[in-house]
């Protein structure tokens, strides 16, 4: 798979055998795309989580299991499937909406509430002691970024998170949303500047406080 805007074929061969060039493939359970878009992976995770949720439909509909236990099962079995590797996602409004809609649909099913009951999404979250799924993903991303920023400087992941290309031209038009742009928005929400993020992340206790602050900030939204 060739990443970027190049239209020419790389023509890579291994043992005289040409390697098929694809636009996306699955690696360690995540769907990688040549344009860096994470929507295909999000769609895949939601599809898998929906399948898990449906296989437990008898659990959600039974009256012999209380709602608190059902929510615990949902948080333990379904949610991890939906947000696997979500720390690496770049979030657009479209993706955020997909995540929140999936989460709401599941919670309403567990509570036995439909949209015809005219109960708001915020009330559904309150009854389930939950948050918007995009906010859960945000908290995971900020926590993950802290781990990366504390790695030794020679580690590739540490280099990648701060690296800026020295050459090349960007296409005209609105810049494509990137993971770094998403993370910078997270930092803005918690009052931290991109220029000082490494020094802040080096202090584990301070970073934990910021992660908690991020979660509270999104709970108010």
Instruction: Give yes or no: residues 115 and 152 share one domain.
Output: no
Instruction: Give yes or no: residues 114 and 150 share one domain.
Output: no
What's the Cα-to-Cα distance from 31 to each of 27, 88, 110, 194, 217, rounded to whole Å?
A: 6, 11, 29, 28, 30
Using the predicted structure, report yes or no on whether residue 14 has a pLDDT greater than 80: no
Range of the domain at 183: 139-163+178-220
Using the predicted structure, report yes or no on whether residue 104 has a pLDDT greater than 90: yes
Would you say how long the chain is, in residues?
Answer: 221
In a domain, 15, yes or no: no
pLDDT band with cut points at 50, 70 and 90 for residue 8:
low
pTM of structure = 0.83
Section 15-29 average pLDDT: 75
In a domain, 120, yes or no: yes
Using the predicted structure, report yes or no on whether residue 5 has a pLDDT greater than 60: no
Using the predicted structure, report yes or no on whether residue 149 has a pLDDT greater than 80: yes
């Amino acid at each position: 798979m060739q990443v970027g805007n190049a239209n020419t074929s790389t023509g890579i061969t291994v043992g005289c055998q040409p390697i098929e060039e694809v636009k996306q493939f699955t690696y360690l359970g995540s769907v990688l795309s040549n344009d860096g878009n994470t929507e295909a992976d999000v769609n895949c995770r939601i599809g898998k989580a929906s399948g898990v949720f449906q296989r437990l439909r008898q659990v959600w509909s039974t009256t012999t299991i209380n709602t608190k236990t059902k929510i615990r099962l949902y948080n333990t079995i379904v949610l991890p499937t939906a947000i696997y590797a979500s720390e690496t996602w770049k979030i657009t409004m479209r993706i955020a909406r997909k995540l929140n809609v999936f989460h709401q649909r599941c919670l309403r099913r567990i509570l036995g509430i439909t949209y015809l009951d005219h109960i708001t999404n915020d009330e559904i979250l309150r009854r389930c002691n939950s948050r918007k799924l995009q906010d859960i993903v945000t908290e995971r991303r900020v926590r993950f970024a802290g781990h990366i920023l504390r790695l030794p400087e020679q580690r590739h992941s540490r280099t990648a998170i701060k690296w800026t290309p020295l050459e090349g031209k960007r296409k005209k038009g609105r810049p494509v949303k990137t993971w770094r742009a998403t993370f910078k928005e997270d930092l803005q929400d918690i009052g931290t500047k991109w220029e000082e993020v490494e020094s802040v992340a080096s202090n584990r206790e301070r970073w934990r406080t910021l992660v908690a602050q991020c979660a509270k900030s999104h709970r108010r939204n």
